[in-house]
A and B are shown apart, each in its own frame.
Chain A
Amino acid sequence: MTFRGAVITFPGSNCDRDMAVALEKVSGAPALRVWHGETELPERLDFIAVPGGFSYGDYLRCGAIASRSPIMRAVVGAAERGVPVLGVCNGFQVLTESGLLPGALMRNAQLNFICRTVPLRVENNQSLFTAGYDRGQEIALPVAHHDGNYFADEDTLDRLEGEGRVAFRYLDTCNGSRRDIAGILNAAGNVLGLMPHPERAIEPDHGGSDGRMLFESAVKGLVAA
Chain B
Amino acid sequence: MKVRIHVSLKPGVLDPQGRAVHHALEGLGFSGVDDVRVGRLIELDVADDTSQAQLEEMCRKLLANTVIENFRIETMEAAR
Contacts and interface: CB of A to CB of B under 8 A. Distances in A.
Interface of A: 60-61, 64-65, 68, 96-97, 102-104, 106-111, 149, 151-152, 176
Most buried by B among A61, A68, A110, A149: A61
A107 B62 CA distance: 18
A152 B62 CA distance: 19
A29 to B, nearest CB: 36
A60 to B, nearest CB: 7
Given A60-B63, A64-B62, A64-B65, A176 B14 contact: yes
A83 B17 CA distance: 38
B20 A111 contact: yes
B17 A107 contact: yes
B65 A151 contact: no
Nearest to B62: A68
B30 to A, nearest CB: 20
A62 to B, nearest CB: 10
A109 B62 contact: no
A127 to B, nearest CB: 23
Interface majority SS (helix, strand, loop, mixed), chain B: helix
Contacts of A64: 62, 65
Given A68-B62, A151-B68, 5 more contacts: A68-B61, A107-B16, A107-B17, A109-B16, A111-B20
30 contacts: A60-B62, A60-B63, A61-B65, A64-B62, A64-B65, A65-B62, A68-B61, A68-B62, A96-B67, A97-B65, A103-B67, A104-B65, A104-B67, A104-B68, A106-B14, A106-B16, A106-B68, A107-B17, A108-B16, A109-B14, A109-B16, A110-B16, A111-B17, A111-B20, A149-B16, A151-B13, A151-B14, A151-B67, A151-B68, A176-B16
Cβ-closest 6 pairs across A and B? A104-B67, A104-B68, A111-B16, A109-B16, A107-B16, A104-B65
Nearest to A63: B65
A103 B13 CA distance: 12
B38 to A, nearest CB: 10
A106 B17 CA distance: 10
